Copies of this chain bind each other. A is one copy, B any other.
Amino acid sequence: MDAVDRKILALLQQNADISISDLAEEIGLTATPCWRRMQRLQQAGLITRKVALLDAQKLGLSMTVFVQVKAAQHDGKWLDRFARHASSFDEVVEFYRMSGEYDYLLKVMVKDMQCFDHFYKRLVNGIDLNDVTSSFAMEQIKYSTAMPLQHL
């Protein structure tokens, strides 16, 4: 992966709608080699897929909650079960196993507090948890799907 490939990735992760010819022009190439590079990057799995990003506010999904969880048990079986359980909710938009005091961090998107309560009950009902604490986002200051390619 050279500098040209990195430029292609940088442009595509900002705007995947750009036509091959425009993309080619931006990086100082013609359409065909540019297209071939993009194909390679896709086949190599560097580009996983292209998606449309939606406006959460306009959709009425105004509530973002970060839920921190402490595991009830620390054996592999429990971990695996919890991973599958929490992943299955489509309100859970991101989900990490963490170092530190809490074992898991979930980013949850819902319409309102009632929906969050409903989600919360379903989350804790399915499985044994030790400690669950929710922090509410008041304001989204930045959200980007673009990775910092500058620093590679």
List residues of chain A with CB under 8 Å of any chain B CB. 9, 12-17, 44-56, 58-61, 64, 66, 83, 86-87, 90-100, 102, 105, 109-111, 115, 135-152
CA distance A146 to B94 in the complex (A): 10
Cβ A66 vs Cβ B97 within 8 A: no
What are the residues of chain B within 8 A of A110 when measuring CB–CB? 148, 151
Shortest CB distance A104–B (Å): 8
Nearest 10 CB-CB pairs, A to B? A95-B142, A12-B52, A97-B139, A96-B137, A95-B141, A90-B148, A16-B52, A16-B50, A99-B136, A100-B135
Interface residues of chain A: helix, strand, loop or mixed (majority): mixed
User: CB within 8 A of A51: which of B102, B111, B146?
Assistant: B146
Cross-chain contact of A138 among B12, B98, B146 (Cβ < 8 A): B98
Asked if A105 and B137 make an inter-chain contact with CB atoms under 8 angstroms apart, the answer reads: yes
CA A100 to CA B56, docked complex, whole Å? 23
- B60 near A152 (CB under 8 angstroms)? yes
Q: Which of B46, B54, B66, B145 is A147 in contact with, Cβ under 8 Å?
A: B54
Q: How far is the CA of A139 from the CA of B48 in the complex (A)?
A: 18
Picked from B12, B83, B151, the residue with its CB within 8 Å of the CB of A115 is B151
Q: Are A152 and B59 in contact (CB under 8 A)?
A: yes
- In the complex the two chains form, is A51's CB within 8 Å of B152's CB? no
Q: Which residues of the other chain, B, contact A97 by a CB distance below 8 angstroms?
A: 137-139, 141
